């Protein structure tokens, strides 16, 4: 998947003197044109997925307009918008964690394990810590503990990648499976609530949960998430670290050439990525759920993945896309029940987005390169064939 539009840093106002004798260039597009192009390429897959989803709904005998209308209604109207914002909080941070890793071309797919371990730490130690410390200390302390564990869980893949170049897709996935299992062991074992028979942790004290944003029922985790996204947007776009990360992501060869310590960079990226994902877990448990059961896995990362790419790994651009998914998920869950559909239908839409995005990107790339969509040999044979026929 390509991120090249994104990686080219949009440089500010002062324009250099244009060279007088420009060589023939492959299509140079104006900035406005390029921005429109990116927007089109971002929105088209979503629209196409919704249309294809509508066809499926029709085949199932449901009214697509009714269903989509319900999604918007339940996702935004009434308390819907507040629920959507609550859903956005962890999603934004996980998207950010993925963006950091993916910009460095490190495919951290261990988000489920990183998330759940962070969640287990908060749910396990939260009830004691929030009671024994003032909230102003207890909440940050729990968040830091989660971050440390989430980051630590990426260390083995990071070291293996840095030292031996081991494929991180495999190692992070493996570590994720282990992480999910360890979480279950922790919840059934040391963190088990002794007062109930079902395998789950004790609940956090209600007044120990994250406070609401005044005037709403949305916890401040939403604001934390937005601030983190903005902070990392600045870091990635404007600082030397951000540029180094992009150079590293573009080519490890170039990174070495310009003196970037590739091993250190690999570890830093993994740690930051795992930290953001675990922070998502911390605010999700402290803001929304309050406890953890075994075999519970919201798998946020799987669902947010297409939107991370649709945002072209741009933190700022991920906000509206995450908002879109949050509305889809919040409103969609209720809408699916209302029209007697499986909730998994929402995943069908997400998958369709991913599929159409790949197609649109492919076509877009081909167009950028000025090539035909047909494989060259086939095109030639077709043309020669038609020439031959005319002659006969």
Partner 1 sequence: MNRADLHAPVEGAQNEVLVRLEGIGKVFPGVVANDDISLEVRRGQVHCLLGENGAGKSTLISILAGMQQPDSGHIEINGARVAISSPRVAMDHGIGVVYQHTTLIPTLTVLENLMLGDTGRLPLDRKGAMKRLKEVSAKLGADINPNALAGDLGLGQQQQVEIAKAMWQGSKVLILDEPTSMLTPQAIAELEESVNRLKAEGLAVIFITHKLREAYAIGDCVTVLRGGRMAAYISPEELSQYDEEAAKKRILEAMFGDDIDNVSADQAEELAGATRAGQDHDADAAASRPVVLELRGVSSHAGRMEIGIEDVSIAVHAGEVLGIAGIDGHGQSALAETIAGQRSAQKGAVLFEGREVTKLGVRARQRLGLRYVTDDRLHEGIVGDLSVAVNLVLKRIGQAPFWKRGQINRSAVQAEAAERIAEYEIRTPGADTRAGTLSGGNIQKILLARELSHDPKVVVFHKPTYGLDLKTVHRVREAVRRFAAEGGAALLISTDLDELVELSDRIAVISKGRIVGEVANDSSGTSERVGELMTGSTREPSLA
Q: Contact between 239 and partner 1 (CB under 8 A)? A: yes
Least separation in angstroms between CB 252 and partner 1: 10
- Point out which span in 86-94, 233-241, 269-277, 318-326 binds partner 1 (CB under 8 A): 233-241
The yes or no reply on residue 38 touching partner 1 (CB under 8 A) is: no
CA distances from 178 to 44, 72, 184, 191, 264 (A): 38, 38, 10, 18, 25
The 17-36 contact track toward partner 1, x by CB under 8 A, reads xxx-xxxxxxxx--------
Of these, 30, 134, 214, 259, which contacts partner 1 (CB under 8 A)? Answer: 259
Report in angstroms how near the CB of residue 324 gets to partner 1 at its nearest: 27
Q: Which stretch binds partner 1 (CB under 8 A): 123-131, 237-245, 302-310, 340-348?
A: 237-245
Q: Which of 61, 206, 369, 392 binds partner 1 (CB under 8 A)?
A: 369
**Hey, what are 354's tokens?**
């991913």
Q: Choose the binding region for partner 1 from 93-101, 122-130, 243-251, 294-302 (rule: CB under 8 A).
A: 243-251
Q: Is the dihedral of CA 84, 85, 86, 89 positive or negative?
A: positive
Residues 6 or more apart whose CB falls under 8 angstroms from that of 365 comprise 2
Spatial separation of the C-alpha atoms in residues 134 and 25, rounded to whole Å? 63
Torsion sign over Cα 373, 378, 384, 387: negative
Q: Extract the tokens encoding 4.
A: 């090249």
Contact between 254 and partner 1 by CB under 8 A: the answer reads yes
9 vs 189, which CB is nearer to partner 1? Answer: 9
* 379 is a contact residue toward partner 1 (CB under 8 A): yes
Contacting residue, 250, 334, 354, 355, with partner 1 by CB under 8 A:
250
Rounded Cα distance between 3 and 314, Å, is: 9
Q: What are the C-alpha distances in Å from 316 to residues 31, 157, 252, 321, 344?
A: 18, 28, 26, 10, 28
Q: Which tokens is 273 given?
A: 């990525």
Least distance CB 43 / partner 1 (angstroms): 23
Quick note: the x/- pattern for partner 1 over 190-229, rule CB under 8 A, is: ----------------------------------------
- What does the alpha-carbon distance between residue 123 and residue 292 come to, in Å, rounded to a whole number? 6
Contacts of 44 (CB under 8 A, 6+ apart): 356, 360
| Residue given tokens 């994902």 in the structure block | 277
Which residues are at the interface with partner 1 (CB under 8 A)? Answer: 4, 7-9, 11-19, 21-28, 238-241, 243-244, 246-247, 250-251, 253-254, 256-261, 369-370, 376-381, 384
């Amino acid at each position: 998947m390509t991120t090249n539009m994104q990686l080219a840093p949009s440089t500010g106002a002062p324009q250099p003197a244009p060279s007088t004798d420009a060589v023939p260039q492959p299509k140079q597009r104006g900035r406005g044109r390029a921005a429109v192009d990116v927007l089109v390429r971002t929105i088209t897959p979503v629209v196409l997925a919704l249309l294809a989803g509508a066809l499926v709904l029709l085949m199932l005998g449901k009214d697509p307009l009714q269903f989509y209308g319900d999604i918007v209604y339940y996702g935004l109207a009434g308390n819907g918008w507040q629920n959507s914002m609550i859903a956005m909080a962890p999603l934004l941070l996980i998207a950010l964690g993925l963006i950091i890793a993916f910009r460095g071309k490190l495919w951290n797919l261990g988000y489920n394990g990183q998330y759940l371990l962070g969640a287990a730490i908060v749910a396990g130690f939260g009830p004691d810590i929030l009671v024994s410390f003032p909230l102003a200390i207890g909440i940050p302390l729990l968040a830091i503990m989660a971050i440390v564990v989430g980051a630590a869980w990426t260390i083995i893949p990071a070291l293996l990648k840095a030292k031996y170049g081991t494929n991180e897709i495999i190692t992070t996935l493996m570590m994720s499976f282990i992480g999910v299992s360890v979480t279950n062991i922790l919840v059934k074992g040391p963190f088990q609530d002794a007062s109930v028979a079902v395998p789950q942790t004790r609940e956090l004290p209600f007044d120990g949960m994250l406070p609401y944003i005044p005037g709403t029922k949305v916890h401040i985790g939403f604001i934390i998430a937005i601030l983190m996204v903005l902070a990392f947007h600045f870091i990635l776009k404007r600082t030397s670290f951000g540029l180094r990360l992009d150079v590293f992501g573009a080519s490890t060869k170039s990174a070495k050439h310009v003196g970037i310590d590739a091993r250190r960079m690999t570890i830093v990226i993994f740690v930051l990525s795992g930290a953001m994902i675990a922070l998502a877990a911390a605010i999700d448990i402290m803001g929304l759920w309050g406890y953890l059961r075994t075999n519970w896995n919201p798998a946020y990362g799987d669902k947010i993945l297409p939107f991370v790419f649709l945002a072209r790994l741009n933190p700022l651009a991920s906000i509206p896309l995450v908002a879109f998914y949050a509305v889809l998920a919040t409103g969609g869950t209720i809408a699916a029940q209302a029209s007697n559909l499986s909730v998994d239908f929402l995943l069908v839409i997400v998958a369709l987005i991913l599929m159409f995005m790949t197609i649109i990107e492919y076509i877009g790339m081909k167009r950028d390169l000025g090539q035909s969509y047909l494989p060259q040999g086939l095109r030639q044979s077709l043309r020669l064939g038609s020439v031959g026929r005319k002659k006969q």
